[in-house]
């Protein structure tokens, strides 16, 4: 079931996001206004397990939080790029690793209340060394933790990024 859209307008068009303000008709016939943030592109993210069984995380500055956050490698898909390709490219660019085994975990809607975007989540294993190749705007530090350490870091609030938390819990839960 989808609500009927009575009116839709673009309230803001930015570089990264567009905000739409729609008037919808609810099941009881009443009208409601829905403000939605739309990111034009989808993303993919990957939990890489190195050959010592450790999780490879990247720490980078996130301006929304004004903090250096720990995350799994991730990025926006390029035009026409499949999630599998995109995630292998991001893994290589951000960590220098090439994955010989890639397993799909699930797809996430990060902020269902008002943002439209989806993130495909993968597990990467059997890693080989390639060459790190960061975007000019990326300043990234690599950190490695055992799955047990990573879970403890989530509980202590040191890892908060939702895609990263979901991927670590999935791995610890036994996703293969």
Q: Rule CB under 8 A: say whether 149 interacts with a copy of itself.
A: no
Q: Output 54 or 116, the one with its CB closest to a copy of itself.
A: 116
**Of 17, 98, 102, 142, which lies in the binding site for a copy of itself, with binding defined by CB under 8 A?**
17
Give backbone dihedrals phi and psi of 162, rounded to 5 degrees, phi first: -60, -45
Q: Rule CB under 8 A: say whether 94 interacts with a copy of itself.
A: no
Q: Rule CB under 8 A: say whether 19 interacts with a copy of itself.
A: yes
Which residues are CB-neighbours of 57 under 8 A, at least 6 positions away?
Answer: 70, 71, 72, 142, 143, 144, 145, 150, 159, 164
Which residues are CB-neighbours of 146 under 8 A, at least 6 positions away?
Answer: 53, 54, 55
**Of 109, 126, 134, 143, which lies in the binding site for a copy of itself, with binding defined by CB under 8 A?**
109
**Of 33, 100, 131, 148, which lies in the binding site for a copy of itself, with binding defined by CB under 8 A?**
33
Q: Rule CB under 8 A: say whether 143 interacts with a copy of itself.
A: no
Q: Rule CB under 8 A: say whether 2 interacts with a copy of itself.
A: yes
- State in angstroms the smallest separation of the CB of 51 from a copy of itself: 24
Residues found near a copy of itself in the complex (CB under 8 A): 1-3, 11-12, 14-17, 19, 21-22, 24, 26-28, 30, 32-39, 43, 61-69, 71, 105-119, 136-137, 139, 151, 154-155, 157, 160-163, 165-166, 169-170, 172-173
């Amino acid at each position: 079931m989808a609500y009927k859209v009575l009116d839709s307008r673009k309230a803001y068009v930015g570089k990264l996001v567009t905000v739409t303000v729609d008037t919808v008709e609810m099941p009881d016939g009443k009208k409601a206004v829905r403000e939605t943030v739309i990111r034009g592109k989808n993303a993919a993210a990957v939990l890489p397990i190195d050959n010592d069984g450790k999780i490879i995380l990247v720490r980078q500055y996130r301006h929304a939080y004004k903090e250096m956050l720990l995350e799994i490698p991730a990025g926006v898909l390029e035009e026409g790029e499949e999630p599998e390709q995109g995630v292998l490219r991001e893994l290589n660019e951000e960590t220098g690793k090439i994955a010989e085994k890639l397993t799909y975990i699930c797809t996430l809607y990060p902020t269902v209340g008002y943002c439209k975007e989806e993130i495909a989540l993968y597990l990467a294993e059997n890693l080989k060394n390639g060459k790190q190749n960061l975007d000019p705007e990326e300043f990234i530090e690599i950190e490695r933790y055992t799955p047990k350490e990573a879970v403890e870091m989530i509980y202590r609030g040191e890892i908060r990024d939702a895609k990263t938390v979901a991927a670590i819990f999935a791995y610890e839960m036994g996703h293969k």
